Amino acid sequence: MKIQTTSNGFDLVLDGRLILRHRSDAPCLFVGQGDARMHMYRGNFDIEDYVIERTPLAHAVVSGSVIAFSAAPGQPVRLTLQMSGDEHNGAIAFRADDAAINRLWVRIAAEQGEHVWGGGEQMSYFDMRGRRFPLWTSEPGVGRDKTTEITFKADVTGKSGGDYWNTNYPQPTYLSSRRYALHVETTSYSAFDFRRDDFHEIEVWAVPDRIELTARPTFIALVEVMSERFGRQPTLPEWVYGGAIIGLKDGANSFERLERIIAAGTKVSGVWCEDWVGLRHTSFGARLFWDWKANDDRYPALRQRIAELEDRGIRFLGYVNPYLAVDGSLFPEAEAAGYFATDESGKTALVDFGEFDCGVVDFTNPEAAAWFAERVIGQNMIDYGLSGWMADFGEYLPIDVKLANDVDAKVMHNAWPTLWAEVNARAVESRGRTGEILFFMRAGFTGVQKHCPLLWAGDQSVDFTRHDGLVTVISGALSSGLLGNAYHHSDIGGYTSLFGNVRTAELIMRWAEMGAFTPVMRTHEGNRPRDNLQIDQDPQVLAHFARMTRVYVHLVPYLKALVEEASTQGLPVQRPLFLHFEGDARTYAIQDAYLYGADLLVAPVSQAGRTEWSTYLPAGADWVHVWTNETFAGGSDVTVPVPFGQPPVFYRAGTRFAALFAGLRTL
């Protein structure tokens, strides 16, 4: 990284890439103060900033690798930047010389035609150029499109409609098509604004620790560095390769249904019963009972059942989240030990989750975190026999609680998903079962990669909508994958059914077709199982699903090779097309298709009523359509028929897996 001074400023250049361009009449840095109004309602945030001051720091004094910024010559230094790094890697450390600063804006040099990706897990826009992205973990929104009725109704009834940028997993990191990555090391509220032609503006509601920069000649090399930087997942458990994980939350009845599903020819690796903790009945319907231990009433003799299933190669998975209901057995134990976040008066802070209140276990207290890992997850879940679970939530840390580490909850809010992942990972590690127990999370932030073995795409609506339906899963996989999250999957059939929006058979089938080409296939009954079609309720859907589990299992030899690449290189299993075709700029904004490893291109049917599907095949290879064996030259759009069971999938001609892929036709 080089600082090149000019008569009235400097350029910061990383391996030939202009990163900062500072001139006294066009500064790259602004500081000031803001006073934010933040309101949380059940994980949805209403945030508005009142910017009191935003001062351009026009005057920069460069002394070696240190740059001191002030508003004007002779004025006090307000911010000092310390540059470090080598030719390809840089870090800009920030030091506030003015303690009053709580807002900072940096302009990063940008180019016309530049693309940017990342920002954590982005569900609506994979290429982030042209838009602004607040980075704050929250509910993802229902509908996520202010022009739709569902979004409107969700907004009006629960402030929960969301928008394109809402995500469970934000991360202040992006990759640029200029072959560099930029990461802001902070957990404070931040936003990436990619709407300007000449610069990207990074906004942080704090003075961040540092900005990290990485330049590499290829996208693959950049992604490898991201994975090293943020942490690499263990390999998938061997048992996962046995087939799909079937989501059932029907009490003991779940097992009878499981047998019928298996009898239909379904390959099954696990059964996931989130209601293993029992139910709470509210006016909104049945909810889970948030006291993390097996419920004998709902699942009699579960321990024995788990053992019997395991003997047949079928694992049992459960559910947990970081809250404890006031009327559960764990709450008084945690409260007596002082493990909860507190309110201003020092009392346990209670969060309303809809007709029941919970305490928030304070993971900044090492003893509380250790207790949750050992007492709750270790004893009640792992020792009981669970092989995995949904580690739900992580986005709801209230912004006004008091924490053991004395850091402002607004600063810890974004850190929470990673702390939560760490508690889960430590519990697994404590039993020596890392890489064998599989938990999955929707929430994330910087560093979640190190602890969470598998992301799930959160709570899509049960539809094909552009901003909350099936297609958003792909954007989620691709964006998070570039930042070191190798494993991603989603609820087959979607999750959120509200305002009369229910699943169609077609939706479940198209979703299963996509799920077969992801590292983990898992179904979900959704938030309203009784109102929505289930995979075992329609013979055509069940037969189709069973077939897709056989596709998944058939591909295991290939998937294992991808897992190996994830483990050694940090490459995600699902990849944007440009990762292997970076010379083909037409691939840069594609977000409805992906490479499943280097050799399979998957273009899921993400709209209803389609009998044909068109997709772009990247230039530089020939592509064989899996179901017809027809070969297409790359560099063009192709259209293929898409009867149910034949999702648009192409393999790279000449791949060493050609025989395996050709075998799909015979299933």
**Which stretches of the chain bind a second copy, using CB under 8 A?**
30, 32, 51-56, 71-72, 74-75, 146-147, 149, 152, 155-156
- The two beta strands, 180-185 and 170-176, are antiparallel
The helix (run of H) or strand (run of E) holding residue 153 is helix 149-158
- How far, in Å, CA of 344 to CA of 57, rounded? 37
User: In terms of DSSP H, where are the helices of 516-628?
Assistant: 539-554, 556-569
Comparing CA positions, the residue from 115, 392, 376, 434 lying closest to residue 272 is 392
* Minimum distance, C-beta of residue 146 to a second copy, in the bound complex (Å): 8
Q: Give whichever of 32 and 118 is closer to a second copy, judged by the CB atom.
A: 32
Tell me the residue length of the chain: 667
Number of C-beta neighbours around residue 30 at 10 A: 20
Supply φ then ψ for residue 448, to 5 degrees. Answer: -60, -25
Q: Give whichever of 60 and 213 is closer to a second copy, judged by the CB atom.
A: 60
Q: How far is CA 370 from the centre of its chain?
A: 25
Q: Give whichever of 52 and 608 is closer to a second copy, judged by the CB atom.
A: 52
Q: CB–CB of 304/318 below 8 Å? A: no
Q: CB–CB of 43/139 below 8 Å? A: yes
Q: What is the DSSP string of 20-87?
A: EEEETTB-SEEEEEEEEEEEEETTEEEEEEEEEEEEE--EEEEETTEEEEESSTTSPEEEEEEEEE-S
* Minimum distance, C-beta of residue 528 to a second copy, in the bound complex (Å): 23
Q: Give whichever of 129 and 298 is closer to a second copy, judged by the CB atom.
A: 129
Q: Give whichever of 72 and 662 is closer to a second copy, judged by the CB atom.
A: 72
**Catalytic annotation, residues:** 392, 395, 459
Q: Give whichever of 59 and 179 is closer to a second copy, judged by the CB atom.
A: 59
* Minimum distance, C-beta of residue 279 to a second copy, in the bound complex (Å): 32
Instruction: Assign residue 51 a region (left: φ > 0; alpha: ψ between -120 and 50; beta: otherwise).
Output: beta
Comparing CA positions, the residue from 522, 508, 562, 514 lying closest to residue 233 is 562
SS3 state at 83: strand
- Taking CA 182 as the corner, what is the angle to CA 407 and CA 107, rounded to the nearest 5 degrees? 90
Q: CB–CB of 142/160 below 8 Å? A: yes
* Minimum distance, C-beta of residue 55 to a second copy, in the bound complex (Å): 5
Q: Give whichever of 61 and 252 is closer to a second copy, judged by the CB atom.
A: 61
Comparing CA positions, the residue from 14, 56, 61 lying closest to residue 32 is 56
* Minimum distance, C-beta of residue 599 to a second copy, in the bound complex (Å): 43
Q: CB–CB of 361/334 below 8 Å? A: yes
* Minimum distance, C-beta of residue 44 to a second copy, in the bound complex (Å): 15
SS3 state at 430: helix
Number of C-beta neighbours around residue 44 at 10 A: 22
* Minimum distance, C-beta of residue 569 to a second copy, in the bound complex (Å): 40
